[in-house]
Amino acid sequence: MIQAHGVQIGLKAPYLLHAILAYSASHLSRLHPEQPKYSEAAKTHFTRSLQAYSTELVYELERGNANALLSASGILAKLSFINTPVLSNEKMSAPPVPAWIRSMQGVRTIMSTPTLRKQLEGGLLGDVVRYYTGSARVPVTLRHSDDVQVLHTALIHALRSLCLRPGTTTHNPVAAVVAVSSPPLNTYTAVLDRLEGIMLCELKNETVDPMLAFIATLEPSFLELLEQHDERASLILAFWCTRIGVIGQWWTGPSARAECRRICSRLADSKDPGVRDLLAYPARFCGFSLEGQSQLPSPPAE
């Protein structure tokens, strides 16, 4: 849709046009890293797009162009993901909820505005919107002879079992003191239900939309768990990284691995053996070395 109609829509929505130009410049920068002009152009257009998009959400939302807003949101999320920093030696320095996740939360505002939602459901982005509203799920064809799918089914089952256990684990000492009760089980369950489809589906270019919708529709209660350094929530995010990282688009692999390494670094010293065992799978995906790493197979290569 962006390729066919993006520029035309963007002429009436400068924030979308800047987002398209930033994405194009980022791709050129990846192809020609020796030419700094492309990275500079990407930064300039990304900043202008983000500023104009934020202004539109705050001041002009009711009169906004729904197609342009949702399109810009998706591109800005990709750009924020592209900009995911490589893991530093100070593993706790990065915020628990990364900027690229925060950048997707504007979708919730767009979808909760009746006039915009009505535009979207009957417009150019109707098929994409169904992933954001929950009326569509990524198609899954179960193949019991597929070793990878069998493994992923077992991993999801193990994740569910871990998340159903009472008590919570956190790397945040303050949260550990005040968290006297477990998070509501449905906080994990709803996210795991959607992660299961992503883990079991066939990965192709069309899978990007439900992948991004997974992040954009994370409930505030789940984001709060990430904010509190909840280990199970972080582990779920790491498994999402293992899927988008092998989807085969130029912008996914390096950023997914950087984000996955950040999570693995946080969870490597977990006191929960269930967390450590399951962490082996995303750790193999991103090349993070775990002591006593389990014998789980590696994720499929790109």
Average pLDDT, rounded, for the chain: 84
Place of tokens 């002879």: 145
> HEC profile for the chain?
CHHHHHHHHHCCCHHHHHHHHHHHHHHHHHHCCCCHHHHHHHHHHHHHHHHHHHHHHHHCHHHCCHHHHHHHHHHHHHHHHHCCCCCCCCCCCCCCCCHHHHHCCHHHHHHCCHHHHHHHHCCCCHHHHHHHHCCCCCCCCCCCCCHHHHHHHHHHHHHHHHHHCCCCCECCHHHHHHCCCCCCHHHHHHHHHHHHHHHHCCCCHHHHHHHHHHHHCCCHHHHHHHHCCEHHHHHHHHHHHHHHCCCCCCCCHHHHHHHHHHHHHHHCCCCCHHHHHHHHHHHHHHCCCCCCCCCCCCCCCC
Tell me the average pLDDT across 151-162. Answer: 95
Please answer whether residues 229 and 249 qualify as being in contact, where contact means their C-beta atoms are separated by less than 8 angstroms. Answer: no
What percent of the chain shows pLDDT beyond 90?
48
Each domain of the chain, given as residue ranges in start order, spans: 2-133, 147-286
Task: Check pLDDT > 60 for residue 142.
Answer: yes
pLDDT at 300: 60
Tell me the average pLDDT across 248-270. Answer: 92
62 phi/psi in degrees, rounded to 5 = -65, -30
**Alpha carbon distances (Å) from 293 to 70, 229, 241, 274:** 41, 22, 19, 13
pLDDT at 108: 86
Of 135-144, 183-192, 290-299, the range with the lowest mean pLDDT is: 290-299
Q: Which has the higher per-residue pLDDT, 291 or 249?
A: 249
Q: Which has the higher per-residue pLDDT, 11 or 199?
A: 199
CA distance 248 to 222: 28
Tokens of 253: 């692999």
Q: Which has the higher per-residue pLDDT, 69 or 122?
A: 69
pLDDT at 143: 66
CA distance 255 to 113: 31
Tokens of 238: 């790491």
pLDDT at 88: 39
Question: Which pTM does this prediction carry?
Answer: 0.86
pLDDT at 169: 60
**Residues linked to residue 230 through DSSP beta bridges, in sequence order:** 170
pLDDT at 176: 44
Tell me the average pLDDT across 218-239. Answer: 95
Single out the residue of 153, 249, 225 nearest to residue 195, CA to CA. 153
Tell me the average pLDDT across 34-57. Answer: 95
